[in-house]
C-alpha cells in the first residue's frame, strides 16, 4: 500500500467499518488529538490493520456512527480534520514496530475513552454506557488491560476509575493494568476491543434505567465521601447553575455569578460550584441529600438530575435561558426520570438578568 492520502471529506464514510455487535475486536493504530474544531471532543483516529484493513473503527468515535446524521451539513471542519488526521496516521502503517514514533501495546486491551472526554452531559453519559456494556461482557473482557485518556475531564476519569476498582473488588479480583494514553502519540494495538456507546444523552422523559441506578448504587455510592463542610452538610435546598465563575467550555446559557450568589443567600439556597469541590463524588453526595434544587438548562440539568435521590427530592426548578429554549421546550411536562411524585418546573426566561430569575427563587416548595 502506498503512503498517500486516501480519504477526503466527501468519501470519509466509505472508509468506516460497519459494525452491528455490541463490541468489535481488531488490530489497529490509534491516535488521540486534543480539541480543535469542537471544544469538548477528543479526535480519536483509528486505522485498522486487522479485519477491515485500512478503515476507521466506527465504535472508536461517536461521530462515525452515533451522531453522523449531522454529516455533512454541520461540523464540516471537524470531519475534514478527521480525514486529514486519518491520512497522516496512514503513513505509519509500513513502519517497523521498533520505530520510536510508534508506541506498541502488545497486551490485549479495551478502549474506554469517550469521544466527549472533555465534559458535557455527553461525556458522562458515555462513561456510564461503556460501563454498562463492560459489565454485560465482563467474563470476556475482564483480563484485558484498560486504556484511558490522560487529558479527559478529571471528573470523568474519577468516576470511571471508582467504578472499575469497585467492580473488580466485588469479584475479589485485582484491577487489570490501566494504561493512560497521551495526546498526539501514535499507538499500535495488537488486540483491542472497542465497545459500542449506545447513548449520546440519557432520555429524561423516560424512567431512569435500572442499569444506571445499579452502577451508581453498587459501584459509585460506596465511595461517596462524608460531607464535612458545615454549609454543605445537610443542605436540603441546593442550586447549581452555569455561571461566569464556572469552568465552562462554552458561554451558552451562562448567568452572572454575583446574581446567583446573592439570590441563593437571600432565599436560603446552598450555591454549588463544582470546580470548588474536591471531586465529582462530593457533588453526587450533595445532590443525594437535596429535597429541592434549582438547575440551569443544559448539561447542568441533563446530567445532575440523575444524581438526585428520588426518595428524597420533592421539587426541581429548571431555569431555561434563551440559548436553550428550543431544546428544552420538548421536555415540558414530560420529565419522568425521577418518578411521578417529583415536581419539575421549567422557567423559560427572556434573558440572564436578576429580574428574570428572581421570582423563581421565591417559588414555594
Set of cell numbers at residue 245: 465563575
Given a cut of 60, whether residue 295 has pLDDT beyond it is: yes
Q: What are the tens digits of pLDDT across the range 249-285?
A: 555 556 778 888 888 888 889 999 888 888 999 999 9
- Using an 8 Å Cβ cutoff, are 138 and 167 in contact? yes
Tens digits of per-residue pLDDT, 204-233?
888 888 999 999 999 999 999 887 654 566
pLDDT at 69: 60
Kindly report the length of the chain. 365
Determine the topology of domain 210-361 in CATH: Rossmann fold (3.40.50)
Alpha carbons within 13 A on the beta-carbon side of 301: 25
Q: CA 50 → CA 19, 46, 81, 329, distances in Å?
A: 14, 12, 24, 46
Instruction: Report the alpha-carbon distance of residue 195 to residue 220 in Å, rounded.
Output: 21
Q: Under a CB-based contact definition with an 8 Å cutoff, are residues 9 and 83 in contact?
A: yes
Q: What is the pLDDT of residue 1?
A: 43
**155 compared with 35, residue with greater pLDDT:** 155
Determine if residue 339 is left, alpha or beta; phi over 0 gives left, psi from -120 to 50 gives alpha, anything else beta: left
Q: Is 264 in contact with 273 (CB distance < 8 Å)?
A: no
Domain coordinates in residue numbering, the chain:
21-195, 210-361
Give the mean model confidence (pLDDT) for residues 299-309.
92
Which residue shows C-alpha cell 454549588? 272
DSSP three-state, residue 61: coil
E-strand stretches of the chain: 23-33, 43-48, 102-105, 109-111, 145-149, 178-181, 186-195, 237-240, 270-271, 292-296, 315-320, 343-348
Model pLDDT, residue 166: 97
Q: 3-state DSSP helix/strand/coil percent for the chain, to nearest 5? A: 35, 20, 45
Amino acid at each position: 500500500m502506498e503512503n498517500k492520502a486516501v480519504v477526503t471529506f466527501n468519501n470519509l464514510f466509505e472508509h468506516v467499518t460497519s459494525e452491528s455487535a455490541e463490541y468489535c475486536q481488531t488490530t489497529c493504530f490509534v491516535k488521540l488529538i486534543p480539541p480543535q474544531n469542537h471544544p469538548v471532543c477528543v479526535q480519536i483516529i483509528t486505522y485498522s490493520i486487522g479485519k477491515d484493513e485500512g478503515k476507521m473503527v466506527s465504535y472508536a468515535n461517536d461521530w462515525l456512527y452515533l451522531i453522523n446524521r449531522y454529516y455533512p451539513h454541520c461540523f464540516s471542519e471537524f470531519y475534514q480534520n478527521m480525514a486529514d488526521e486519518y491520512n497522516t496516521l496512514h503513513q505509519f502503517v509500513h513502519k517497523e514496530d521498533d520505530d520510536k514514533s510508534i508506541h506498541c501495546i502488545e497486551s490485549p486491551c479495551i478502549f474506554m475513552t469517550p469521544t466527549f472526554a472533555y465534559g458535557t452531559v455527553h461525556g458522562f453519559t458515555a462513561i456510564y454506557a461503556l460501563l454498562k456494556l463492560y459489565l454485560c461482557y465482563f467474563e470476556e473482557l475482564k483480563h484485558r488491560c484498560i486504556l484511558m485518556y490522560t487529558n479527559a475531564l478529571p471528573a470523568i476519569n474519577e468516576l470511571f476509575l471508582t467504578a472499575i476498582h469497585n467492580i473488580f473488588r466485588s469479584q475479589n479480583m485485582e484491577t487489570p493494568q490501566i494504561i493512560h494514553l497521551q495526546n498526539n502519540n501514535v499507538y499500535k494495538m495488537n488486540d483491542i476491543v472497542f465497545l459500542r456507546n449506545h447513548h449520546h444523552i440519557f432520555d429524561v422523559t423516560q424512567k431512569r434505567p435500572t442499569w444506571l441506578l445499579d452502577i451508581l448504587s453498587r459501584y459509585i455510592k460506596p465511595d461517596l465521601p462524608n460531607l464535612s463542610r458545615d454549609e454543605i452538610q445537610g443542605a436540603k435546598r441546593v442550586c447549581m447553575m452555569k455561571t461566569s465563575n464556572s469552568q465552562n467550555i462554552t458561554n451558552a446559557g451562562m448567568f452572572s455569578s454575583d446574581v446567583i450568589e446573592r439570590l441563593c443567600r437571600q432565599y436560603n439556597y446552598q450555591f454549588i460550584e463544582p470546580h470548588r469541590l474536591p471531586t465529582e463524588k462530593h457533588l453526587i453526595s450533595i445532590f443525594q441529600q437535596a429535597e429541592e434544587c434549582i438547575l440551569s438548562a443544559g448539561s447542568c440539568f441533563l446530567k445532575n438530575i440523575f444524581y438526585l435521590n428520588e426518595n428524597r427530592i420533592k421539587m426541581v426548578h429548571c431555569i431555561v435561558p434563551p440559548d436553550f429554549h428550543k431544546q428544552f421546550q420538548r421536555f415540558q411536562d414530560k420529565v419522568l426520570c425521577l418518578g411521578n411524585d417529583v415536581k419539575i418546573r421549567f422557567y423559560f426566561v427572556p434573558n440572564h438578568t436578576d429580574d428574570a430569575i428572581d421570582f423563581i427563587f421565591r417559588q414555594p416548595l
